[in-house]
């Protein structure tokens, strides 16, 4: 759907964000005279492509409440911003066409897409029944593998092992840095693996190629999400589910479904996320290592926290802890190695922080968990470390400890500046907005001056 932004819609965005014309101009980098002209001419003025990029990204950075206010005041559906629309449907070929055809269409479209045009197009993720019913029905069907009739010479186990190693390297890069800096390389490698899958191979090689495609597609999904491209992320997750099922890798399929659920949690769709986790748990039951099982329990607990159910959150968190504490990690596949004590503790702390935003009594407990995660987080996990530090800053502000929050925040920004993650950028904007209540405190005013360029460049 193509959307032309006018001065009226840009003004509605400014008002939904609760900003004066001066503050909006300062945050966006748009001239104050232009912001005033929007308010005066409203629908009679159309925004330029460059300005559309700026205001669209500001909308993406907004809180759910701010986006809801914007939606109520305009006719723009909030599909690119994380507010989902249950009328958006899967393309039927997602589950019915050959996986190689789906991958070919997706990678070709992604590599050719004009990112400037993308900012003018409001894409939607699929939620509700249109998401869950086709997926669950397809998972219940027997697997049918169609093997093409021709084979490429020279594709043997050493070549497949090299492709597997490449997928592992790309995933490690995303885990360490985030932000999708090598996203196009991942997509190009995915296209190459997909070309191989259009040919005939022995069953062992075909399964390993499908597994590699699943891992590359899941990394592409994570990177796309971390670049703010939610619709493309969900499509890559769906492709990863298909490829993992073709490889008969139920545990990794469950991991991908958990990734889809995490994306929906970030888009304020906890009920659908909870259902995806339950589908994953059922689909991989009896086939998972304990670490994967613990991760799924924790993702389930995350959904309960978002749903405002602290008792269910605590009960399910204890299940995750118990399974994790008893886990023998020697048999874990590499793609679950990230789920360590720091990830467990940091995720619990982050979810307690979610609850603390409406019930501040949880902030102290959240801070304890986050502090432990910071202490045990392995070096190199920059995106996770940045989110840990920023979560701690927010917890201290909720506890009404602005000076301590500022002390931590300067260290947090030093870590955050080492990533290009969209999730980190949004978290910086969240923390910046929270500092507004303490803007008259000298330490906070100094912090806001340091944060302002980061917020402005991320809008």
The residues, ordered by sequence, that sit 6+ positions from 21 with a Cβ below 8 Å of its Cβ are 14, 32, 35, 36, 39
CB distance 187 to 111 below 8 Å:
yes
Evaluate whether 230 touches 82 at the Cβ level (below 8 Å).
yes
State mean pLDDT over 334-345: 94
Helix/strand/coil for 2: strand
* Angle at 180 (CA atoms; ends 211, 271), nearest 5 degrees: 70
For the chain, how many residues are written?
459
Task: Tell me the CA distances in angstroms from 457 to 30, 35, 57, 422, one per residue in order.
Answer: 12, 18, 10, 12
Distances (CA, A) of 292 to 4, 76, 288, 339, 341: 45, 40, 6, 8, 13
**pLDDT category of residue 124 using cuts at 50, 70 and 90:** low
> If DSSP codes are grouped into helix, strand and coil, which group holds residue 167?
helix
Cβ count within 10 A of residue 133: 11
Eight-state DSSP code of residue 42: G
pLDDT tops 60 at residue 285:
yes
pLDDT confidence tier of residue 118, bands split at 50, 70 and 90: very low
Contact 387, 424 (CB under 8 A): yes
Q: What is the mean pLDDT of residues 94-115?
A: 77
Which neighbouring-strand residues pair with 147? none
- Per-residue pLDDT, 64: 65
pLDDT tens profile 23-38: 898 888 898 999 999 9
What gap in Å lies between CA 347 and CA 352, rounded to an integer? 9
Cα separation values, 109 from 103, 114, 115, 229, 342, Å? 10, 10, 12, 14, 37
- Residue 265, both tokens: 């949690």
Helix (H, G, I), strand (E, B) or coil at 63: coil
Question: Which tens digits make up the pLDDT trace of 57-85?
Answer: 788 777 766 776 776 666 443 443 344 44
Helix boundaries (H) for 326-401: 341-356, 363-376, 382-398
pTM of the predicted model as reported, rounded to 2 decimal places: 0.78
- Residue 343's pLDDT is what? 94
Residue with the larger pLDDT of the pair 81 and 288: 288
Q: What is the pLDDT of residue 316?
A: 97
* Statement: residue 446 has pLDDT above 90: yes
The token pair at 405 is 């929050």
379 has a pLDDT exceeding 80: yes
**pLDDT for position 79:** 40
* pLDDT score, position 456: 54
Cβ 392 vs Cβ 408: under 8 Å: yes
- Residue 125 pLDDT more than 90? no
> Which of 6-10, 63-67, 394-398 is modeled with the greatest confidence?
394-398
How far lies 108's CA from each of 183, 225, 430, 445, in Å?
A: 14, 18, 35, 48
């Amino acid at each position: 759907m193509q959307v032309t932004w006018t001065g009226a819609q840009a003004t509605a965005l400014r008002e939904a964000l609760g900003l004066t014309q001066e503050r909006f101009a300062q945050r966006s980098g748009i001239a104050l005279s232009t912001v005033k002209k929007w308010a005066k001419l409203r629908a009679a003025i159309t925004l330029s492509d460059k300005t559309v990029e700026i205001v669209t990204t500001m909308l993406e950075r907004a809180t759910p409440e701010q986006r809801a206010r914007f939606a109520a005041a305009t006719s723009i559906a909030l599909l690119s911003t994380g507010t989902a629309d249950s009328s958006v449907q899967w393309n039927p070929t997602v589950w019915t066409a050959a996986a190689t055809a789906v991958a070919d269409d997706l990678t070709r479209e992604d590599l050719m897409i004009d990112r400037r045009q993308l900012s003018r197009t409001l894409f939607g993720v699929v939620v509700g029944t249109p998401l869950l019913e086709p997926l669950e029905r397809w998972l219940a069907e027997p697997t049918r593998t169609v093997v093409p009739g021709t084979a490429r010479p020279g594709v043997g186990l050493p070549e497949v092992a090299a492709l597997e190693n490449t997928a592992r390297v790309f995933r490690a890069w995303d885990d360490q840095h985030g932000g999708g800096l090598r996203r196009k390389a991942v997509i190009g490698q995915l296209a190459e693996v997909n070309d191989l899958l259009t040919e005939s191979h022995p069953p062992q090689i075909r399964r390993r190629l499908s597994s590699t495609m699943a891992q590359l597609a899941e990394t592409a999904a994570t990177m796309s999400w971390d670049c703010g491209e939610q619709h493309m992320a969900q499509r890559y997750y769906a492709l990863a589910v298909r490829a993992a099922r073709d490889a008969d890798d139920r545990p990794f399929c469950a991991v991908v479904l958990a990734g889809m659920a995490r994306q929906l949690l970030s888009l304020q769709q906890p009920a659908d996320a909870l259902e995806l986790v339950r589908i994953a748990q059922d689909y991989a039951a009896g086939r998972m290592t304990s670490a994967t099982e613990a991760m799924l329990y924790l993702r389930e607990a995350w959904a309960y926290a978002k749903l405002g159910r602290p008792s269910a959150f605590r009960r399910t968190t204890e299940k995750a802890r118990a399974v994790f504490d008893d886990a023998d990690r020697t048999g874990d596949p590499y793609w679950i190695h990230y789920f360590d004590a720091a990830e467990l503790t940091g995720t619990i702390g982050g979810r307690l922080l979610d609850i603390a935003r409406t019930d501040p009594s949880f902030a102290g407990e959240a801070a304890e968990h986050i502090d432990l995660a910071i202490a045990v987080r392995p070096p190199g996990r920059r995106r996770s470390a940045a989110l840990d530090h920023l979560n701690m800053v927010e917890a201290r502000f909720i506890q009404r400890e602005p000076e301590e929050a500022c002390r931590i925040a300067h260290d947090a920004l030093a870590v955050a500046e080492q990533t290009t993650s969209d999730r980190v950028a949004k978290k910086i904007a969240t923390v910046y907005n929270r500092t507004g209540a303490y803007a008259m405190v000298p330490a906070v005013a100094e912090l806001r001056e340091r944060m302002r360029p980061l917020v402005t460049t991320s809008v």
